[in-house]
Every structure is written in structure tokens, then in C-alpha cells.
Structure 1
């Protein structure tokens, strides 16, 4: 909600700053429409708008992708966005109580919003530059920075527009230094030349009075100059008057620079006269060029980014049917970041970018797609043998040691290749197939290349079908939760339950996560599904409490998408409050692999929640690459030992030693240790003796629906079932 104290002044001052620009009800203007079109393109969003927040409504000065011009202020994104100097990023408005019932969400189907405030020089926030989407989006800090820069450019345009209007009124009297004001007679000879013109062009008034205006026009444009003056002087209408024109001009030292010219024409007793208001737009052009560069280039390596690379591929395919796309990455790059730090990892990527640029030939394009993934466009895809040789040479290039930050780093690479038109005829399909080939190369052990084949095509088709079914599963409420008990190994007492996701497929029956989780984790529905699991698990625990089952916590597995969204703290606290639960009632489980792949800033919400009392558990511990330093720095309250160590804990001395070591470390760090996959009493006893605090597995019960769990444990919280043969995901 808008607060006076948050906008650098009171509401009266803000509205005064807003109305100073006199924008309400004004017709479309090219400068602003270019900005919203550019914003939609840069953010790949269907809607972009410049929104002004009035006293009781919102007005869209410029809008791309929508016909709306006026919106209600209540519960709006933009009225909320101007309450803070930082951009407002909303990944899914339907789950955000501030906006879930707004007209844009309910009537227009808006799901995602990102907007930066339009802040005037005196600190008033008068509106926003924003993008909106009808699907959920994960906005990044880079998106926020870009929005802020574009909002600044919009305010500059407001100021320039305001200045232009003032100059128009004061033009007959102006001698201002920043604006060149020039008049000529019908033949184009200068009759007035102000101080601004002197400073802009380097000619004094005496030098220019009576001289041909063509003197400040670059030679290549002078041919049509006299004809234009003569035609208008003869009575013809000018199609240049009355609108701003961007042209090149010439200084006295011979240098060219861009100007914006506003031309007026009058007819008086002395014949036709011309007046020109001229502004040097070199700085503005520079900003626009920088903005365009940043929009198309990776800031770390200077290579083209994914968007620009796709545009290059599309342009090439429109002219040439034949091409090949190679995508490649580093095997083991994650280890460099973890062991040597992100500064060394960034330097390694820069070194790889330089090495790849030296590798490219004329007509080839190289880009960084994100992370350690790069892409190369080969202009000719007709010679399969030549493509194979290029891939082999690229692998050899990557395999050569890198000297980075005092380290000699030797890594391998994996390469995936897709060829047009053999395997795809459009850019998106070509990149998808190259990515699948890269995935195949890495699955085959890395340090090799793979070319997309029909087997991968079948995998792609099957994945797409499954993705569509997942979308229907969420919409038709086919997901459900089962709950598996967690018990104290000391006395068999029930201490918790883990919420397990199940999919009741209409034809395949009840599916366990191993059948669909790998696809769901990368699906656009991952964030929504994760939110539903959290809410449903907390609702179930609250119902159990009302029925009399108390003293247990609820474990909920997080998706990586929930970390990326940047709303985890707010979502968890809102969900707990909605169901009347305390932070200690909830334990969030995350696999060590997912945790260690995240940017450290993305893990800050887990640290915040841990500080506020929410439990944080590493699931499947021992199967990833977590180091002891990670246990020290990560906000953990529990380690979950993977079932692979539990299966032979009775007979294998190595498993016994590993489990005992983990339990000892956990105890010394104040971290609880729980073992998964317990099926026999002998395993439970061995784990208890090794120092584990708790356990779960078929010995105590498999995952069951909420009602069955309650019926079983309400009156006998120490009951457990015999081992079962069925293996659970």
C-alpha cells in the first residue's frame, strides 16, 4: 500500500510532481511507445506499460500488448510498487494475498509482474515502468536492475518533454545554452543564432548570420537541402514540420553528432520563415546504445546472450536453410565454484569465452546461454564430417589447462549438436535438440560430443506428453499427499511425518515421485505445486492437532523453483499463520544437490527461516557433493542419511563407520540426524547404537493418506509395522 513517508514527500507533493509533466490524456508519443515495445522484447513478456499513479486511479501513458488505459488503484501492482525504491517482483500473483483479487489477476489473467518506480529528481515516485505476463515468472536481480535503468530513461523522457514544452513557449526570448534556437529565411540563410547554437555547433552568431543553414549539415545530406527550402517557399506543405526529427549534424571542427530537431514554418510580410529547436542527443543515444548492448550481451563475458543468439540463428535460417548449432559446457564447473570461489569460476568462464572466440571462423557466432553453457552457430550444416571435426577440436580446446587466478585448472567439456534442416527448421526446436544432445553427452560420461538422433526425438516427444499431463494433473487436482511416520530411535515415539507427493493418474493409477519428479522439477508448474504441497501439509497438521494428535512436526520437500522465486520467507510465514502453526511445527527438506547449485543469495531465505525457528533438513545426505564446510555454513537443523547407507548397516563395516561419523559430526554441530529406509529392527538398533536420533522407513510404516495416518497413530503413537517388500520413491 502507498505510504506518504516512502516516496520522498507527502501525497500532495507527489501529485504535484506527477501533474507537472501534463501527461494525463495526452496522445501516444513515439519515445514512450518505443520504450514499452523494447521492454516487452527484452523481458520476453506480452505486456509492458508506463503507468502513472493518480490520486484514485492508474493511467497508462504507454502500453504494449494491452488496450487498457485506466485501471483501479486499489489492490493494484503499481500502487504497491511505488511504495519502495526497489523494483517490485511478483512471480505468481494468484498466491500473493496483496494481488490475488485484483482486477488484472481476476479478469485479465495476469500471473507475473515486475515493475520499477518512476522516481523524479526530487525523490517523488509517480508511477512505474512494468512488465506483466499471463504465466508465472522467476525474475532475477538482473531483471530488477534492467527495470530500474529503463525507468530512469522514462523519467529522463518526461523531463525532456517538459523542457521541450517550456522551450516552445519561451523560444522567441530564449538564449539558453542547452538548446539551439535558429531561424532562417525562405532560402535557408540564418537570421537568428542563439547562445545554445554557438556552444552546440562551435560557430559564433557573427559567423553564421546570413550563412546557409547547410553549413551544419553533413555533406552527404546536403544534396536535397536547397530543394526542400525552395519547395516549401513555393507554397508546398512540409511533412517535416510539427514533429521531432532525429538527424545527424556537423560541428565546426568537422565532427558529426546526433540531434533532435523540431521545425516550425511561418509566412509573413517578408515571405516564408523557418525556425528550428535543436537538442544534442549524443548522451541519450549513448544511453540507448548501452541499453541495447546490455540487452543483447552477457555482462560477464561480453558474448551474445541467449536472446541475441536466438535472433542470430533465426536471421540465418531465414536466409540459409543449412546450419548447425553446437551447445557446450564444462564438466566439473560446479566444483570450481564450490572449492575455489565464484570469482575464480567467473574468471574461468571469461577465459573460456576468449578461447572460444579465437576458435570461431568468419560467419560463426558464439554466445553464452547461461551458467557455464555456451553456444556456437556454424553457418553450414551440410557437411557432417566437418561438423564432427569442429566438435572434436572444440573438446580439445576445452581440455587444455586454464591459468586462472594463480590456479592451473584442467577440465573437460561436453558438446551437443543439432543440424538444420535435417533435425529442425526453426530456432527454438534446434536449440532444444542441441540441449538434448548435450544432456546425452553428459549422461554418457562427459568429455565427448553427441549429435541429436531419433532416439532423443522420441524422448523429447514423451517428455512433452508427460509435461502436458502434469499440467492437467495440477488443474484437475490429481496430486495428493501421503504421510510417512518419523520416530525416535531411543523409544519408538512418533516425532514427525514427512509429506510425500503422489499423482493419482487417470490411467496409470497411483504414481510415486520417481515416475514424474524429474520432469516436474523443471516444469513451469514446479513453483505452484511446491506452494500447494506446503499449504496442504500444514492444513493436514492443523487438522491432526484438532483431532488430538500433537507433539509432531511436518516435513515438506522444497522444489528448486521455490528458492528461485525469492518469496519463500513470506510464503512460509503466511502459510503457517493461515493454519495457526508455529515455525517449529514445520521442517523444510531440500536435497544437498539442489542446495549447493543455488546462488548463495538465493539461500538467504532459508537462513532467515532457520533463525525464526523453522527446521531445515538436508535430504538424501551422502549422495551429493556436500563438504564439511557446507555443514558448518548452511542453516541446518537435521541431516537425513540416505537409504543406500542404511540397507547394509548391519553387515557392512564401511556403512557403519560412515553413519557413525555423520552422527558424531551432527551431534558436535548441534544437528539432529535421521536415517531413511529402515526396514528391520536390526537396522534400527544398529542406527541407534551409531548415534542416529530418529528414523523412518517401512519398519514404522509407509506413506498413507492423512486419514489413515491419523487413525493409526492417534491412540498409539509408538506403533510400527513390519518390514514390507514394496520399495517407495
Structure 2
């Protein structure tokens, strides 16, 4: 009590209040320290959880991954790294990341990669890496610089995937672009390049070049009597026979059907070409053994020589073709050189051209529609408009005869506009009658596509027919879309802005650049019939079709296959992811009235 008396005197209450406040502050201080410690503990646990999550993601990634220090020494790798490279973790740690690069790259390659990542913050691209067993493989790699608090690089993060399968598919597609599928001989595109190069060398060295056009006589009889399987095998035998007869420096290519082209380079005189042509005629004359059959053929060969008969591939090919017809007129089983007197074929083409100019106003043309079917539902998905010609004297004309004449003469512009307008009018009539959601496809030639007024003509055709643009699909070939990148992109984008669907016809038969293709606003790829005909029995055809389907889907495009002729082909294509099919398995091309009877009437009955 005496001790407490100090609080009874003057200022005692203030002293007591101060002591109580001090006691509370001490208690509060301990509580604050405990709270801060608890909060820091939770933050540490959260950070540790994030680290564990990042480590788990790093380890579980299907991409090969590496972490290095600022000098590029490997600090950590994941399981996918070990699987893709064959190097165990212990073999990689501490080594410079560049040890993976193959000898296909120069010694400074990886230093440049790191320098680019340091400058931009990242680098990505393709490279060739080596596995532990010495095998090389193409990889797509991403290298990212990890910056510290002061902005300096403290680590590098690297990830890569093996792109061997994609590269093989691309290589196969590139090969197909320059080679005939049936015989694996160079196609017209590659022959054109090789002939052009041979002409340049001959011009420099004062030599000659000969182009031989080889046509198998009456080959159609083989297909008609023994079937296309035997015919195709005979074509392979012919290709091998021609190759075996030629010199090492010569080149033989297939132009299509039963036609071959032979390049004879570095000739001293035309007698050399005559001797080789005679050997080719004799070699084809010898019997062929196909299966259990012994078959006999002859051939007609036309010869055109640089510089006498032309200074470029197209001219030499045209003149050798004319000479080949002269050989046929001489009784076949022989060869002939080109001469200025060979006017028969040129006259025939001129007459055909004049007749074709009169065909539209004379109402000799009509459209057939080839149905396109959804492979899953079996329902109509679209149709392709195909032009037909009833010639007053020659009867039904093969489009393969008059379309090239139309393109060469420029008639294709007016002809193509007629086809477009007729197709739009027919489709608009069907839409008014109740057929919904089915697009009509119209083919576009390279001549049309290069016409600056083409987009406007399409817009007018849609407006005049009052057809929604979404119901029109324009089909262009690979040669069209590769005919001048900037112009092609501008035209395709203009058509796309109208709402028109765009597709690439006969994909795989031309020479598409895959890097360009992904930049085009294309909705659909059409697999060429040559890749479909041997499905599913031929493994290479299966691989090619699957690669094209995968490529299209990877670029966000749909796929349609043409030339579908049986249920097995349908089953393979459907299982491979192809959305649509077109071919005689479903229907032959139909006149408009037949198309309406088959598809429009049932559609109305279901309403």
C-alpha cells in the first residue's frame, strides 16, 4: 500500500496511466512480431509451392527443356530432353548448351543465337541437333533470356521439339510438286527448269539441246481392254525402259497420260538426237512383261532442237508436240523432227478457238454440277460447277481439249465470267426454292486471276444474281496462287472481304511454298485425285493424304478429296479427318435439272 501511495500524490494518476499504456504497448509489440513472422512464413510457403509447381511443369513438359546460366552452361534439363536427345541428365549438366548442335551449322551458329536472344530477349527457329548416338534431327527451338532485378541476363530458358515427321511430310510434298506420282519421273514444272538450264549452258558453250515428245501409240486400248491397273504398271515399265536407254546426262519426265518428254543436253549436232530417238523407238518396240502378260507397244516421237526450233521450254515443247503428230501421221512407231510446214495441228487449234468464241452467244455451253458430300453425315455439302460444250459438228467436247485453247487465247476470261454468272444464277434459284447451306464451287484460271477487273466481275455476278457471297466458293490451283505473291494476297483478301470462300484445287500437284500458303486467306484444300485413287491399299498414298490433311488442319483449313470411287476410300479419308468427298462413288456430274431432281426435291420434302 505504501508503494502505491505514489499514485495518490500530485501527478499520480498520470503516472499510472503511463504505466498501463507501456504495458499495453509491450503486449501489442509481441503480437505484431508474431503476426509478421506468421505472414512471412505463409509467403515463403506460397513461394515454395510456386517453385514446386514450376519445377513439376518443367519436368512434365513434352518439349525438351534446358535452363542455363548467363554463360550458357546447363543447370537443369527435363525428362523430355533425355528422351529426345538420348543424353542422361548427368551427361548434360555443366556442359554448354551448344554441344547439341550438329556439324550442319558453322561453329559460330550458337553464339549468334545467344547474341540474338540477349538483344531481343528471345530467339526462335529451326536447327539441326545431334543425339547421343550421333543421329541428327531437325528441331524447332525457342531460347529466352531471363533478366534479373537490374535487367541483366542471369539465365537462359530453352525449349525444343523434334520436327522430323513434319520435315519428312514437307519434303515428300515438295518432291510430289516436281515429280509424277505414278512413275516418280520429273513432271512438267521440273522439266521446264531443267530444259531452261540446259539451254543456258548450250548458249554459253555453242552446243545444241533437243526436246523429245514421246507418245505411246494406241495406249488407250490397253486401259480399255486390260484396265487401268495394268495400264499404270505398263507406264512404269515404259518409264524404266526409257531411262535405261538414255545417257546419264539426259532426263526423262512424264507429261501426263501416256506422254513423256526427254531432254537431250549438250549435243554437238542434230544427228546425235536422231540416233537417241531411234534407240528409244526400238526400246519401246521390245515386249513388256506385266504380270503374266507379254504386251507390245510402239511410240511416236517428235523432236525439236535448240536453237533452230525454239529458245525456251514452252516453244520447244510445242514444236516437239507438233512433230510427234507428224510421226503419227507417218504411220507411228517412228520419229520426226519439227519443220515449219507442220501446220495441221496449229490450224486445228485456230479453228477450235474461232468456234469457241461463238459458243457462248450460240448457247452451245452448259453447266454440270458435281456433288460434294460430307463424309460423316453423307449429306450434300456443296457442288462444283463444270463447263460443258456441245460443238455443232464435233459433238460433246472434252474440256481438256477446249479449256487450254481458251486459256491460251484469252477466251477464258469471258468464258469464266459466263460460268460464274450461270452458277450464281442457278444457286440463287435453288436458295429461293429452299436449298440452304450448300456452296457452289467455280474454278478460276490463272488468266482470270491476273485480270485486275476480276474481283469486280465476281461482285457484280453476286449482286445480279442476288446470291449471298457465303454460298460461293472459288477454286484456284497452286500455280495460280504462286503466280505473284503480293497480287495473289491482295486479290484473295479482296474476295475474302466479300465473304466468298476460297479453296486450293488439286493440292500437291503443283509447287506451293508452304511458307506462303499459311499466309493466304484460304478456307479449304482439295486433295488431288491422283493421291486418292490408290487409297487405302498403297502406303505411300495413305501417308501423303494424311500429311495433306494434317497440314490443312494445322493451318486452320478444311479438306475435300476428289476422285472418290469406293467405300474403302471414303472410310480411310473419313477416319483420317477429311471432311468432304467428291467423285463417281457419289455421283457423276449432273445437269442442273438432274441436280435439282436429286437434291432440291428431297430438301423441300423435309421442310
| Alignment TM-score, normalising by the size of structure 2 | 0.50
Which of the pair has more CA radius of gyration?
Answer: 2
